[in-house]
Structure 1
Amino acid sequence: MSVFMVERDLKGISMDDLAGAQKAAIKTAAQMSDKGDKISYIRSTFAPEDGRCMCLFDGESAEQVQRLNDEAGLPYNRVVTALDLTP
């Protein structure tokens, strides 16, 4: 498994909608895992000043992470392989 970063432009999103988007990502990852996909939501970082949001997922491929976001109805600009440097 690898870490993938999903880049989003959410300028103007309300905090309620942001929370809903996070819940949708978590729920869809859990549903996919229940069906046998090896994928999980790690965390998100949001910069409200410019609306940039970076979400980390642990998964098998960028295509799998894209599918999760498509199924959850979440907008994204791109999905890239990332290194999670949390100590």
Structure 2
Amino acid sequence: MSVYMVERDLKGINMEALGGAQKAAISKAIEMSAAGTKIKYLRSTFAPEDGRCMCLFEANSDTDVKRLNDDAGLPYHKIVPALDLTP
């Protein structure tokens, strides 16, 4: 599996809605994995000053990540392959 980064613009989102979006991504990943599409939500980084949010997913394809976000109703600008450099 590869890592993909989802870039979002969430300017003006409140913390409750941000938490809800994160829960939606996690739930949809669990649902898709249970149905046979291996995908895992890894983590997000949010910059409240300008609303940028970067979410990392582990999946077999960017198509699976796109489907997760579309099905969960989560907005995004683009999905790109990424390297997770967490020590």
Which interval holds the TM-score relative to the shorter structure?
over 0.9
The residue number in structure 1 matching 2:74 is 74
1:32-51 superposed matches below 5 A:
32-51=32-51
Deviation, 1:29, is 0.2
Q: Provide the rounded CA distance (Å) in 1 between the counterparts of 2:75 and 2:60.
A: 20
Name the aligned partner's letter for residue 13 of structure 1: I
Segments ≥4 residues shifted beyond 2 Å: none
The residue number in structure 2 matching 1:31 is 31
Deviation, 1:83, is 0.1
1:28-71 deviation digits (Å, cap 9, x = unpaired): 00000000111000000000000000000000111110000000
* TM-score relative to the length of structure 2: 0.99
Q: Provide the rounded CA distance (Å) in 2 between the counterparts of 1:3 and 1:15.
A: 26
* TM-score relative to the length of structure 1: 0.99
Q: Provide the rounded CA distance (Å) in 1 between the counterparts of 2:69 and 2:12.
A: 20
Name the aligned partner's letter for residue 75 of structure 1: P
The unaligned stretches of length 5 or more in structure 1 are none
Deviation, 1:82, is 0.1
Do residues 4 (structure 1) and 4 (structure 2) align? yes
- Count residues with an aligned counterpart: 87
Name the aligned partner's letter for residue 84 of structure 2: D
The unaligned stretches of length 5 or more in structure 2 are none
Q: Provide the rounded CA distance (Å) in 2 between the counterparts of 1:38 and 1:31.
A: 10
Q: Provide the rounded CA distance (Å) in 2 between the counterparts of 1:53 and 1:63.
A: 20
> Percent same amino acid at aligned positions?
70
